[in-house]
Structure 1
Amino acid sequence: MTDGGALPDPWPAPRVHDPVDVTVSLPGSKSLANRALVLAAVSDGPSVVRRALRSRDTLLMAAALGSLGSDVDTADADWPVTPGAFDRDADIDCGLAGTVMRFVPPVAGLSTGAVAFDGDPHMRQRPIGEVLTALSALGVRVDDDGRGALPFTVRGTGSVPGGTVTIDASASSQFVSALLLAGARFEQGVDVRHDGKPVPSLPHIEMTVAVLRERGVDVDDSEPNRWTVAPGPVKAVDVTIEPDLSNAAPFLALAAVSGGRVTVRDWPASTTQPGDELRSILSLMGCTVETVTGGPDAGLRVTGPERLQGVDLDLHDVGELTPAVAALCALAEGPSHLRGIAHIRGHETDRITALATELSALGAGVVEHPDGLSITPAPLHGGVFHTYADHRMAHAGVIIGAGVDGVLVEDVATTSKTFPDFAGFWSSLV
């Protein structure tokens, strides 16, 4: 897939020589959009997902739900969704979308057809076994080869008994969200209990709970490591998708790298998105962070410092921000330590090893730990920054390229996963 047309590969990352002063509007949140699409497909009537992100991940989700029997109209900016009978065999392409691979199988359990799942080669390495084991325990037949990975087939009977299930969600919060999103449609609902190391990215589970409650679903999350969804209807609700705050990371980082100013429009006053944590992270690195109210540039404004400071951060709950933060740490003037992120080894790629490899190749002093990275800044030089088919790695590459001459980002088109024409948009700013 290309990003805004044919691009050279590796792609010369634009170098910024002067402080920038730009205002940007970002596409909608992938995490919110795909949750909204799943709930719309299992709701009690038609609804509209407004300002839906049009990206590979969301289009794969729309196609998956359409294959099951729902009608998802992606022709315009607002996507009408009409639930349908899940009464057919289907082949689901997960691509590189973890939300499709994990959120759709519980919905497929409600089908009367055989629903086969597969995806890109990289996707076959990402964990899904806990979800499949949980579905089997809840009364869904799953055929796989025992690896707990793609490919596999869900053979539904039109209903799911549901009930109580214990899983280890320490590899991904999506394991919990997947079961909660479809749980109201199970005959007994679902009672999900986590047993294992702390669940990463808890804000994403809080996001799932919030969107369920918006649709009238009874969710009890009062007990740590336990989430109960009562059986009942999912109310059809029209929603407007917030900007993707994790996608804001490279743009706000541009202010930090250049010592300039970047404003992201429409930053929500209150949100469950993990990307909201960028406000405090960038403040700790020496940036000035302020909210702009009123006028066409209302949003979040970040102004970069004269010298970027190193940080010691536990990113356990916001692991998806690690690549962008690590890139900034490599450009800072002091050492940094990023901890609590062992789970990002199971993301689109092993992001800890990938970051250590690529930042070291450009001259940074990086020590890889089981659950994080220690980064000692050193003079960086140009070279090829490999992305491993991972959009967040591409973000890290362009951030380094903004501060270092001669950085070439391999497969920058992988950013189309959550931001169509990212490369063209980035070049227009830099």
Structure 2
Amino acid sequence: MPTIEILRSPLKLHGKVGVPGSKSITNRALLVAALATGKSSLSGVLVSDDTRYMVKALTELGVCIRFSSDTCIDIEGTGTLKQPCDSLYLGNAGTAIRFLTAACALVKGTVVLNGDEHMQKRPIHPLIDALNAAGIHATVPSSGCPPCQVHGQGSILGGTISVSGNLSSQFLSSLMLVAPLAKQSTTIKLAEDTIGALGYIEITRSVMNAFGAHVYQDDEKRFHIANTGYNTCDFKVEPDASAATYFWAAETLTGGMIDLGYSPSDFSQPDVAAHTLMQSFPSLPSCIDGAQLQDAIPTLAVLAAFGYSKVRFTGIANLRVKECDRIAAVHKGLNCIKPGLATIEGDDLIVIGDPELPTQARPCTIDTMSDHRIAMSFALAGLKCRGIKILDPKCVDKTFPNYWSELSKLGVSFSYA
């Protein structure tokens, strides 16, 4: 498998880079625009593996989609979806397969949704259970992971639906996104008292509202969605906050100045909270609750390794069922750089900061486990420590295809092998 090694990095990184559009917002907006009746235009969209899978699947479901430029898409929706000729392949795009599993209830006929070997290890059974309880026949293997089979009736009833959000907030979002097309108003109840990653539920609500849906709550556990359908919309996708965290961390780690073209106040996504935490580096908080900024945890953990003290990351159990077990991947990577740099207690990750790390790190190859966030976060360690190689560097194509070229704009040089 190929590797990339950071050969040289300026002492302080200065320059201007570009971050792509938000994956989370792009895939939500693609589906909602597809379910509206008429033409919608999306601008600033992310073009990456995850969004390409969503576009391809929606096209196979009968939606007319056309790129008017590199980051602008015109979508002609009909308010419904057609049965595809074959199964839908979604790679390892979690948002795509989870959102489309509920949406395929609108198809009249059976739809099979599947992904790669990594996707086939990512649980989706809470969503399948919720769909069956709502009268939508859907199945998964005994593993509780894809492939999924949805036997659509061409419509969904609505009413009251209960779903567990313990493993992922995307199960709730999936049901919310299709609820405006139900035959009656829908109330979605959380099976738990709270849910992690509430910020992503707000992203779902915001996208839905932009296309004319009405979502409201009377308490933290109940989401009421009127059966309004969706209106067409010219919608702008904001830049990806998760992608921005790598450059905020690079700036913090090197004492440089990196211009993203946006300030943190321009982001509504939950990972923007990482920017505030980084301002205390090298004395990061001793305990960081990662429940609401999960995609930023690998970035923060690598940054913490260069800090002055021990940092415990809590509320991150869901990281075990992302593209890989990110708790294990970060732990393994940090200890490859220097043994004893990180430990795990239950589902907590503890990073023992060492400001002398650049002089103590050993040459090593970081196993990314084909996870884009592991690759991009550990590249930060390579800015300070020589001899760090990143395995499978093209895995960043999942959400940030230009990541390595954007780093090179700052004067960072690489060797590919």
TM-score computed with the length of structure 2 as normaliser = 0.92
State whether structure 2 residue 370 is matched by structure 1 residue 392. no
- Corresponding residue of 2:284: 310
Structure 1 14/162 Cα, relative in aligned 2: closer, same or farther at 3 Å? farther
**Distance (whole Å) between structure 1 residues aligned to residue 268 and residue 102 of structure 2:** 23
Looking at structure 1, the residues matched to 306 and 183 of structure 2 have their Cα atoms a distance apart, in angstroms, of: 53
Q: Equivalent residue of 1:46, what SS?
A: strand
Q: Deviation of residue 338 (structure 1)?
A: 1.2
Q: Secondary structure at the match of 2:248?
A: helix
> Aligned-pair distance for 1:212?
1.2
CA distance, structure 2, for counterparts of residue 272 and residue 163 of structure 1: 30
How big is the shift at 1:146?
A: 3.4
Q: SS in structure 1 opposite 2:118?
A: helix
1:425 Cα deviation from its structure 2 partner: 2.3
Match of 1:83 among 54, 77, 95: 77
Instruction: Give the Cα separation in 2 of the matches to 1:239 and 1:14.
Output: 41
Q: Quick one: distance in 1 between partners of 2:3 and 2:77? A: 42
Q: Which residue of 1 aligns with 2:126?
A: 130
> Secondary structure of 1:227's partner?
strand
Equivalent residue in structure 2 for 1:329, among 300, 304, 313? 304
Q: Which amino acid aligns with 1:321?
A: A
Count of residues in Structure 1 that have an aligned counterpart in Structure 2 = 401
Tell me the distance in 2 between the aligned counterparts of 1:327 and 1:341.
15
Equivalent residue in structure 2 for 1:376, among 349, 352, 356: 352
**Per-residue deviation, 1:276:** 1.5
Q: Is the 8 A contact 2:271 2:294 kept in 1?
A: no
State whether structure 2 residue 406 is matched by structure 1 residue 425: yes
Alpha-carbon distance in structure 1 between the residues aligned to 2:205 and 2:251: 33
| Structure 2 counterpart of 1:412 | 393
CA distance in 2, matches of 1:108, 1:348: 23
Uncovered stretches (5+) of structure 2, i.e. residues with no partner: 355-359, 413-417
Cα distance in structure 1, aligned partners of 2:219 and 2:301: 34
Structure 1 residues 149-168: aligned runs within 5 Å: 149-168=145-164
Instruction: Please name the residue that 1:295 is paired with.
Output: none
Q: Take 1:11 and 1:267, find their aligned partners in 2: how far apart are those partners? A: 30
Contact 1:14 1:398 (8 Å CA) reproduced: no
The equivalent of 2:357 in structure 1 is none
Give 2:28's aligned residue: 35
Q: Give the structure 1 partner of residue 327 of structure 2.
A: 352
Quick one: structure 1 residues 60 and 401, their matched pair in 2 at CA, closer, same or farther if it must change by over 3 Å? Answer: same
Whole-angstrom distance in 1 between the partners of 2:378 and 2:16? 22
**Aligned counterpart, 2:41:** 48
Alignment of 1:202-351 (within 5 A): 202-267=198-263, 269=265, 271-285=267-281, 308-311=282-285, 312-351=287-326
Q: CA deviation at 1:126?
A: 0.7
After the TM superposition, which segments of 4 or more aligned residues of structure 1 sit over 3 Å from their partners?
A: 267-271
Structure 1 length as normaliser, TM-score?
A: 0.89
Match of 2:415 in 1: none
Alignment partner, residue 403 of structure 1: 384
State the secondary structure of the residue aligned to 2:157.
coil
For residue 20 of structure 1, report the CA deviation from its aligned partner.
1.5
How much is the aligned-residue C-alpha RMSD, in angstroms? 1.6
One-letter amino acid matched to 1:87: K
Residue 282 of structure 1, CA deviation:
1.2
Alignment partner of 2:52 out of 50, 59, 78:
59
- Structure 1 gaps of 5+ residues are 1-7, 286-307
Tell me how far apart the structure 1 counterparts of residues 142 and 105 of structure 2 sit (CA, whole Å): 18
In the TM superposition, 1:69-148 aligns within 5 A as 69-74=62-67, 76=69, 77-84=71-78, 85-89=80-84, 90-148=86-144
Aligned-residue offset at 1:125: 0.8
Cα pair 1:10 1:411 within 8 Å, conserved: yes
Q: Distance in 2 between matches of 1:104 and 1:14?
A: 42
Tell me if structure 1 keeps the 8 A contact 2:18–2:406. no
Distance 1:112 1:403 in 2: 56
**Distance across 2 between alignment mates of 1:309 and 1:400:** 17
Identity of matched residues, %: 29
